[in-house]
Amino acid sequence: MLKAENIKKTYNAGKKIALQDFSIEVPTASVYGLLGPNGAGKTSFIRIINQITQADEGKVWIDGQELNPEHIRNIGYMPEERGLYKNMTVGDQLLYFGELKGMSRQEALSQAKFWFEQLNIDQWWKKKLSELSKGMAQKIQFVVTVLHRPKLLILDEPFSGFDPVNANLIKDQIIRLKNEGTTIILSTHRMESVEEMCDFVALINNSKKVLDGKVFDVREQFKQNVFSVVLSDVNSENLEELTRKYQIENIGTANGLFNFELKNTENQNILLQDLLKTGTIRTFNEKIPSMNEVFINAVQS
Ligand SMILES: Nc1ncnc2c1ncn2[C@@H]1O[C@H](COP(=O)(O)OP(=O)(O)OP(=O)(O)O)[C@@H](O)[C@H]1O
């Protein structure tokens, strides 16, 4: 749905490079995580898509068409710095932003009504923004972003400020929108949200893409041949031998079970034979690194 090719973005007359040689492809109806440490270049890219700023080099296409002002109507952008009017009522605000995105008043009203029901906020229509808490205002910002039914939704830290119940409510709505065909770019530092929601990710570090792909494939790439094992009926002599042969860590015992992590240096069948000699295998799993571990690894290497 969105394709970016060889994007370069600099500031300060070319002295500060924010993005270089940055290319990604975001499939239709997917959640695409844009990850990277502070200052990596994520917001610069998002601002290019939103046409708030321009790339120095490279191109962006949406549905095969080079990015142009017409696309703005089909994009919903929720920036990290939320931008609502404090003294306007929630209702007026929604109608105003809806009309800005080209909706008729009637359309904006009916969409707003739909979202107010979805998010259980029916009673807020006449409240001023200044009367709402941070999380409540955040819900309104979300409705403003999705009101015009954008085909491309760009969410920058959408869960900050939400309690866990409301975070889940918004998460469910994002997934529902994806299932209905919306393409979503999610920029976040919360790796557990990435694991739960993203189909694909790209990780930017120091202005360059350092990895991208399906979340599971990316996690697989970083696995280190570490297995998590639980044994019972352990033979202590053979356990000593196992300890000599393999690097074993995080050992624990409980209820007659012996659990540990083991770095495999053999092929898997030999490892299994060695474990069978040591005890009864209760569980045996290869450890797939979390996105948090992938992030730290990729950024520090
Ligand atoms: N308007 C600007 N003028 C000069 N430098 C800028 C400007 N905007 C961003 N930068 C610089 O470009 C780099 C990338 O910034 P960007 O905001 O894209 O990072 P980010 O990945 O979104 O970071 P964060 O996770 O902290 O939001 C940073 O070094 C930043 O200081």
In a domain, 298, yes or no: no
Question: Which residues, other chains included, contact 254 with Cβ-Cβ below 8 Å and sequence gap of 6+?
Answer: none
For ligand 1, what atom is nearest to the CA of residue 53? 1
201: its two tokens: 């990710």
138 and 7 fall within a common domain: yes
In a domain, 105, yes or no: yes
Structural domain span for residue 269: 222-288
Distance of CA 149 to the CA centre of its chain: 21
The 10 Å Cβ neighbour count of residue 240 is 11
Amino acid 83: pLDDT: 79
For ligand 1, what atom is nearest to the CA of residue 47? 18
84 and 186 fall within a common domain: yes
**3-state secondary structure (DSSP) of residue 203:** strand
For ligand 1, what atom is nearest to the CA of residue 43? 22
Amino acid 248: pLDDT: 94
* Burial class (CB within 10 angstroms; exposed 0-12, middle 13-18, buried 19+) of 51: middle
Taking phi over 0 as left and psi of -120 to 50 as alpha, with beta for the rest, 65 belongs to: beta
Q: Whose CA is nearest to atom 28 of ligand 1?
A: 39
In a domain, 97, yes or no: yes
Amino acid 300: pLDDT: 85
Single out the residue of 136, 147, 152 nearest to residue 97, CA to CA.
Answer: 147
128 and 205 fall within a common domain: yes
175 and 273 fall within a common domain: no
Q: Count of residues for the chain?
A: 301
In a domain, 40, yes or no: yes
CA distances from 136 to 91, 131, 143, 147, 156 (A): 14, 9, 11, 16, 17
Angle, CA 98 vertex, CA 148 and CA 167 arms, to 5°: 60
Q: How many angstroms does the Cα of residue 44 sit away from the middle of ligand 1?
A: 6
Amino acid 85: pLDDT: 87
Distance CA 232, CA 275 (A): 11
63 and 115 fall within a common domain: yes
82 and 205 fall within a common domain: yes
The binding-site residues of ligand 1, defined as CB within 6 angstroms of any ligand atom, are 11-12, 16, 18, 36, 38-44
Residue at 98: amino acid letter: G
Q: How many angstroms does the Cα of residue 10 sit away from the middle of ligand 1?
A: 10
For ligand 1, what atom is nearest to the CA of residue 204? 21
6 and 115 fall within a common domain: yes
CATH of the domain at 140: 3.40.50.300
- Which of 197, 220, 243 is where one domain is finished? 220
215 and 226 fall within a common domain: no
CATH of the domain at 239: 3.30.70.1140
Q: How many angstroms does the Cα of residue 301 sit away from the middle of ligand 1?
A: 21
The 10 Å Cβ neighbour count of residue 169 is 16
Whole-prediction pTM: 0.86
Distance CA 36, CA 126 (A): 39
For a ligand 1 pocket test, name from 9, 16, 54, 188 the mutation site with the most ligand atoms within 8 angstroms of its C-beta: 16
In a domain, 209, yes or no: yes
235 and 246 fall within a common domain: yes
Query: Does residue 288 contact residue 220 with C-beta atoms inside 8 Å?
Result: yes
Q: Hey, which residues does 254 pair with through a beta bridge?
A: 257
| Structural domains in the chain (count) | 2
Q: Whose CA is nearest to atom 22 of ligand 1?
A: 43
The 10 Å Cβ neighbour count of residue 159 is 21
60 and 164 fall within a common domain: yes
For a ligand 1 pocket test, name from 7, 34, 44, 207 the mutation site with the most ligand atoms within 8 angstroms of its C-beta: 44
46 and 159 fall within a common domain: yes
- Which of 220, 236, 251 is where one domain is finished? 220
In a domain, 14, yes or no: yes
Predicted complex: ipTM over 0.90: yes
In a domain, 294, yes or no: no
Q: Whose CA is nearest to atom 25 of ligand 1?
A: 38
215 and 238 fall within a common domain: no
Please identify which residue in the block is written with the tokens 């700023």. 53
Amino acid 60: pLDDT: 97
For ligand 1, what atom is nearest to the CA of residue 207? 14
In a domain, 301, yes or no: no
Per-residue pLDDT tens, the chain, 301 aa: give them: 999 999 999 999 999 999 999 999 999 999 999 999 999 999 999 999 999 999 999 999 999 999 999 999 899 999 877 778 888 899 999 999 999 888 999 999 999 999 998 898 888 889 998 898 888 889 999 999 999 999 999 999 999 889 999 999 999 999 999 999 999 999 999 999 999 999 999 999 999 999 999 999 999 998 989 999 999 999 989 999 999 999 999 999 988 899 999 998 888 899 999 999 999 999 999 999 999 999 998 888 7
* Burial class (CB within 10 angstroms; exposed 0-12, middle 13-18, buried 19+) of 155: buried
Please identify which residue in the block is written with the tokens 């502070």. 38
Q: How many angstroms does the Cα of residue 40 sit away from the middle of ligand 1?
A: 7
